Amino acid sequence: MSEEVEITFLGGAKQVGRSCFLVSSQKGNFLLDSGVNLGESEEGKYPLDPPVKPDYIILTHAHLDHSGYVPAILSKYRCKLISTPPTQDITEILATDNLKIAKETGETVPYNMNDVMLIRKNSFDAYFKVRYKLRNDITVTFYNAGHIVGSAMVKLTIGEKNIFYTGDISTRHTRTLEMADFKAEGGDVVIMESTYGSPEDKHPSAQKTERQLISDLNKTIKNNGKVLIPVFAVGRAQEVMITIDDYMRSGKLATAPVFIDGLIIRINELYKLFWEWLKPEIQKRIRYTRQSPLDSDMFYLVKDRESVCQMPEPNIIITTSGMLEGGPSIYYLKRLAGSENNMIYLTGYQVEGTRGRMLLEGAKQIKPPQDELIDVNAKVCFADFSAHADQPGLINFITQLTNKNTILCVHGEETKTIKLSEKLSQIKGVSAYSPSVGETIRV
């Protein structure tokens, strides 16, 4: 008799944030990711509690919307974790940083530093395209997802059933990574991200995005303005840094000091440590030049924030957080947003409810945490540097999978998951659906 398997959506369904799916069977219980919702302050920030003790967390990548609740789960259930080595190390840094921020803001966090240390104590390393046995009759295989360093798609095999989860995927090459592995076979059930799942979600070409960024930066530098680029510390920061460095070197971007501040500095250390997880072209460049592009002499690490803000010359500041929810980007926002000569350049998806989203929607006043409202006169721009596939990319990816009977669309705003599932249902032999938080689906 074939095994009965259930998937319960504890978070990340009809929403971006707190991705957490429980796959349970008589042979074992497995959590696919365990993230937080960055756009929520309290209720809805964390996933629902799993109704059974998980045996393993299978972690696709280190972004907080997938990994932010991992220490809490490890603490409560003392389960094991399996992921790629970069994912473990970056998850540990992000969790540690989160504790530091919470100490400063007085926010409560559902774990402590001892719990964070469980990540290294309870983890197993996974490499791409190797089948790992988790229990009798249960295996997991990781495949490159092309999203950030070490990011993976996973195939969980329980008896004869295959559950394939994309995590977050990029279906085109970026400056640091090769695109998602299209040779992954899929599964009887495919759990698929839908961040850009609507038909109108079509990314411009990477070249066009880069040219737009460079032209905007040139204008501001010429006007003696300063540019604040809030980025996600993991992935986006390194993509933006390498892009700016390349254009400055070739003379297409006016030379100005590029300041790097915040958590990016520590994440860059891991991008350097795990250089063999980057795409072959970058590996070659590092071998020939004996230097990481992240160590370029165009970059300056910030020692004193105020002196950067007071510099009479134009400059570019790349810092966290990417949605202006915390970190040094708030400091710079307060100092730079008032002047119309300056520019705030958002480079990634802005979750509903975040300050980044409000700016993008044209807000002329923003309230920093524990501070007065500030006027925004600076220009607000957006470059679509997304490391997520757009709708055509997602459809192309699904079309090429061999196994894809049922597709469950997650990790997207409600309308996007629904629109994507409608679109995917049109593919012959495919039934697609977008589940809700709390729902259980029998496989």
- Provide the edge-to-edge strand list for the sheet that holds 80-83: 123-125, 80-83, 56-58, 28-32, 20-25, 6-11, 440-442
Pairing of strands 403-410, 379-382: unpaired
Q: What tokens appear for 123 in the block?
A: 């983890």
Q: How far is the CB of 104 from Zn ion (least distance, A)?
A: 25
Please state the closest distance from residue 442 (CB atom) to Zn ion, in A: 26
Exposed, middle or buried by CB within 10 Å (0-12, 13-18, 19+), for 369? exposed
Nearer to Zn ion, 65 or 384 (CB): 65
The residue range among 52-60, 64-72, 75-83, 226-234 that interacts with Zn ion, by the rule CB under 5 A, is 64-72
CB 406 within 8 A of CB 431: yes
The residue whose two tokens read 């995917």 is: 424
Distances (CA, A) of 173 to 62, 111, 151, 184: 19, 36, 14, 17
Nearest CB to Zn ion, comparing residues 62 and 330: 62
Identity of the residue, 65 or 325, whose beta carbon is nearer to Zn ion in the bound complex: 65
Q: Which stretch binds Zn ion (CB under 5 A): 62-70, 133-141, 401-409, 416-424?
A: 62-70
Beta bridge mates, 319: 230, 261
| 63 touches Zn ion by CB under 5 A | yes
Nearest distance, CB of residue 287 and Zn ion, angstroms: 28
Considering the complex, state which of residue 159 and residue 353 has its C-beta at the smaller distance from Zn ion: 353
- Residue 355 makes contact with Zn ion by CB under 5 A: no
User: In angstroms, rounded to a whole number, what is the distance separating the alpha carbons of residues 391 and 27?
Assistant: 36
> Token match 């309290």: residue?
42
The number of helices, as runs of H, and strands, as runs of E, in the chain is 13, 22
Whole-angstrom distance, CA of residue 410 vs CA of residue 202: 18
Name the residue nearer to Zn ion (CB basis): 63 or 355. Answer: 63
Query: Closest approach of Cβ 33 to Zn ion, in Å?
Result: 8
Our CB check for Zn ion shows the closer of 168 and 325 to be 168
Q: Which is nearer to Zn ion, 63 or 379 (CB)?
A: 63
In the complex, the smallest distance separating the C-beta of residue 167 from Zn ion, rounded to whole angstroms, is 7
Say if residues 49 and 20 touch (Cβ distance below 8 Å): no
> Does residue number 18 form part of the binding site for Zn ion (CB under 5 A)?
no
Give how many residues touch Zn ion by CB under 5 A: 3
Identity of the residue, 221 or 410, whose beta carbon is nearer to Zn ion in the bound complex:
410
Q: How far is CA 40 from CA 36, 65, 209, in A?
A: 9, 11, 30
Nearest approach, Cβ of residue 270 and Zn ion (Å): 15
Cβ-based nearer residue to Zn ion, 247 or 385: 385
Q: For residues 63 and 416, which CB has a smaller minimum distance to Zn ion in the complex? A: 63
Residue 168 contacts Zn ion per CB under 5 A: yes
First-last CA distance in the chain: 14
Structure token pair of residue 443: 């496989």
Of 56-64, 260-268, 280-288, 415-423, the window that binds Zn ion (rule: CB under 5 A) is 56-64
What is the smallest separation between the CB atom of 273 and Zn ion, expressed in angstroms?
A: 20
Identify the CA nearest to 433 among candidates 119, 197, 422: 422
- Rg of the chain over Cα atoms, rounded to whole angstroms, equals 21
Q: How far is the CB of 91 from Zn ion (least distance, A)?
A: 12
Could you tell me the smallest distance in angstroms from the CB atom of residue 50 to Zn ion?
20
65 is a contact residue toward Zn ion (CB under 5 A): yes
Structure tokens at 409: 């669309």
Q: Does 239 bind Zn ion (CB under 5 A)?
A: no
Instruction: State the angle between helix axes of 264-273 and 236-249 in degrees (0 to 180), rounded to the nearest 10.
Output: 80
Least distance (Å) between residue 147 CB and Zn ion: 5
Asked whether position 33 contacts Zn ion by CB under 5 A, the answer is no
The contact set with Zn ion (CB under 5 A) reads 63, 65, 168
